[in-house]
Amino acid sequence: MKFYQSDVFGLIHKYNVPGPRYTSYPTALQLTDSFDKGLIDKDVSERQSVPRSISLYFHIPFCFSLCWYCGCTKIITKDQDRGDVYLDYLEKEMELRKVTLHPETDVHQIHFGGGTPTFLTPEQLRRLGKSIHSYFNIHPDAEFSVEIDPRRVGEDHILALKEIGCNRASLGVQDTNDDVQEAIRRIQPFEQTRFVADLLRKHDIKHINIDLIYGLPKQTLASFKKSIDDVLSLDPDRFAVYSYAHIPSIMPSQKLLNEADLPTSEEKLNLLVFAVDYLTRAGYNYIGMDHFAKESDELSIALKEGTLHRNFQGYSTRAELEMLGLGMSSISQNENLYAQNEKDLNNYYERLDSGKLPVKKVVELSEEDKIRKKVIMQIMCRGAIDYDRFLDETGLVFKEKFSAELERLKEPEADGLLSLMNNGFKITPAGRLFLRNIAMVFDEYLTQKRHKTAYSKTV
């Protein structure tokens, strides 16, 4: 089926409003530092009492140089000794976290994100891998993924990653054109990216994801086509094609970009429509939001089988694992509580020096949150709601509970984004571009004033 209808641009204009990405519900905006400290103790005793399946996220905040478009939590430095100090503290945190878990808790997924995980030297990566294996029980089939900056990675890094169990790599590319790279101050010859992809395959790290960004300065349809053609030649399993969110008031480094070089919103929408169409024609399934995967990839299979999940790292194939986030700014996530670590490196170190978990902010999920989370995640991951299933899972009649929301879905239905049926509703292929908009109908927090300015646009 062709992905788009001819009036897609009109729909994008209509629905392109600020909205959450729903890697969680409630979103990270609900995290607060004025929480009842007893909540953490209660949560720990629940985690300790039953073995669970978990996912570990490690935030490595350091980067060698600043990319001007960057919106991540990072620290720019060339001093790799800072990696050793950081690992000292990650080990302190792992020691504290380990005792918060039941001894038979298994790790099914590990992810290194940043910043730049490969800022760490091969020896530092080996040290981190060794520590993880000594503090946690790693399941033999665990997925272990690492974000790689191809600009400063050699064979030693790849060997170290292989040794510690890495089996999936995400290569940050963004754009392969010289003038775009110059405009964003991220100089990355494509041959270097190809070299790293070849090294990964040589050392049997077979699963490769590529990250691109649309909406960057100097990008045109022709130049973005070249970027996609370049990375298609690497035959990746998955693509993430992120929208560049220009919010210099929140991300001051973006003020360095020349705003006159940014594509207009019309041009940006053209880039998006082109990317979705081109990648789907090239054989990649549109998973949702900004993600594409080959037909044979686990994400495509999970989408088809209705087993796709979503967490703070995006889409995941692993059944809803509890997530334990380690390192500064990381977020942990379980069915009752989301908790974020200190975002400031010194505060993160100080908390660990005093022998305390470095948790700074928390949101506890109410029963209402849990019900709405179920609906929002099913929209984001399955693109459908089944009222019987909802009744089985919650004991509630969907049409009664969400009668006002169903009324509000009539407009997107008339626009062809979903089909309302007697026993549920289903997002149409065209509606998959607007998953966030449909999920927003069920978000109770969006009426709060601060939410109106906190999110990037939905498309």
Token match 């996220």: residue?
Answer: 57
Please report whether residue 193 would count as binding ligand SF4 according to CB under 6 A.
Answer: no
Among residues 91, 143, 149, 237, the one that binds ligand SF4 under rule CB under 6 A: 149
Q: Which of residues 216-245 bind ligand SF4 (CB under 6 A)?
A: none
Alpha-carbon Rg for the chain, nearest whole angstrom, is 22
Please report whether residue 157 would count as binding ligand SF4 according to CB under 6 A.
Answer: no
Stretch that binds ligand SF4, among 65-73, 84-92, 259-267, 388-396 (CB under 6 A): 65-73
Stretch that binds ligand SF4, among 50-58, 114-122, 295-303, 401-409 (CB under 6 A): 114-122
Please name which of 402, 405, 373 lies closest in space to residue 30, comparing C-alpha atoms: 373
Token match 């990696």: residue?
Answer: 83
Stretch that binds ligand SF4, among 63-71, 82-90, 394-402, 445-453 (CB under 6 A): 63-71
Among residues 59, 74, 238, 382, the one that binds ligand SF4 under rule CB under 6 A: 74
Shortest distance (Å) from residue 119 CB to ligand SF4: 8
Please report whether residue 114 would count as binding ligand SF4 according to CB under 6 A.
Answer: yes
Q: Considering beta carbons, is residue 29 or 72 the nearer one to ligand SF4? A: 72
Q: Considering beta carbons, is residue 73 or 307 the nearer one to ligand SF4? A: 73
In our burial notation (b when 16+ CB lie closer than 10 A, e otherwise), range 262-290 reads: bbeeeebbbbbbebbebbbeeebbbbbbb
Residues 225, 175: contact at Cβ < 8 Å? no
Please report whether residue 175 would count as binding ligand SF4 according to CB under 6 A.
Answer: no
Pairing type for strands 309-311 and 314-316 reads: antiparallel
Give dist(CA 186, CA 352) in Å, integer: 34
Shortest distance (Å) from residue 312 CB to ligand SF4: 16
Stretch that binds ligand SF4, among 113-121, 122-130, 269-277, 368-376 (CB under 6 A): 113-121
Q: How many helices (H) and strands (E) does the chain have?
A: 18, 19
Please report whether residue 63 would count as binding ligand SF4 according to CB under 6 A.
Answer: yes
Give dist(CA 309, CA 306) in Å, integer: 9
Residues in the interface with ligand SF4 (CB under 6 A) total: 10
Please report whether residue 72 would count as binding ligand SF4 according to CB under 6 A.
Answer: yes
Tokens of 12: 């994008």
Token match 């998955």: residue?
Answer: 238
Cα 225 to the chain's mean position, in Å? 24
Give dist(CA 37, CA 329) in Å, integer: 18
Among residues 29, 40, 70, 256, the one that binds ligand SF4 under rule CB under 6 A: 70
Residues 293, 283: contact at Cβ < 8 Å? no
Give contact residues for ligand SF4 (rule: CB under 6 A): 63, 66-67, 70, 72, 74, 114-116, 149
